[in-house]
Amino acid sequence: MDKPMKSPPPYPIASVDHALRAAAILQMEGGSTVAQLAERLGVARSTAHRVLAMLVYRDFAVRGEDHVYRAGPVLELAAHSQSLVSRLRTVALPHLRRVVALLDETANLIVRTGETVRFIASVECRQALRVGSREGMVFPAHRTTAGLLLLADLADEELEKIYAPERYRDRPADRPDLARLRTELRRLRRSGFAVNRERSERGLVAVGVLVRDRDGTALAGLSVSMPSVRYDPRHLRPLVATLEAAAHSLEEDLADQP
């Protein structure tokens, strides 16, 4: 896939951006009050209220008696998925911020659903040339750093099910070469980390590691993304060590959660 780094359009429409971000927050995290959403979007409460009212009107959100807005029929996820994503994001954010403070590159937390991955949290660095937030965005799993790591944790039978030919009957070009993918995943299992050089987007390099639960099951991928002009392979080992330390700390915090 040959895609440029994503950047805001030259003539952004703020109201549309607010609505899309609000919808992603409700879908991934399960709910938000007007005040909470206003803080997340960096807007006045009146603006957040208008955004939520329009989402309710179009069935992208519903308002409960507790005055909490949740994903509506258009966006609804399974309740357990919302709970897990919300918990992961909440616990991960301090660790993402520490990674950004240490590396000065954008940090992300990513989960997999089937053949795709979703960025559930992003913390941008402060450099002028930087990779922007991918929070809420969805990409093919086999084209992202975290996605490859999460696929590498699967059994061969599950991998075959995800990439079964019949699922790609109407879009054969989207199906990866399974033999080549298996070879790559075996290498990733040995190394324990992944490097994505312009595989998902042109001009972008990402490095990632896995986050596991107390039983060793892969929950998410923790990664940093940077412009390719700033990536130096000689610094890969200390970069991976920083990510591994952050992932380990995150795993400990998750284990302490009820």
| pLDDT tens-digit map of 205-253 | 999 999 999 999 999 999 999 999 999 999 999 999 999 999 999 999 9
Place 76 in a pLDDT band, splitting at 50, 70 and 90.
Answer: low
pTM: 0.72
In the chain, the percentage of residues whose pLDDT exceeds 70 is 92
Nearest-angstrom CA–CA distance, 132 and 123: 9
Average pLDDT of the residues in 42-53: 94
Place 123 in a pLDDT band, splitting at 50, 70 and 90.
Answer: very high
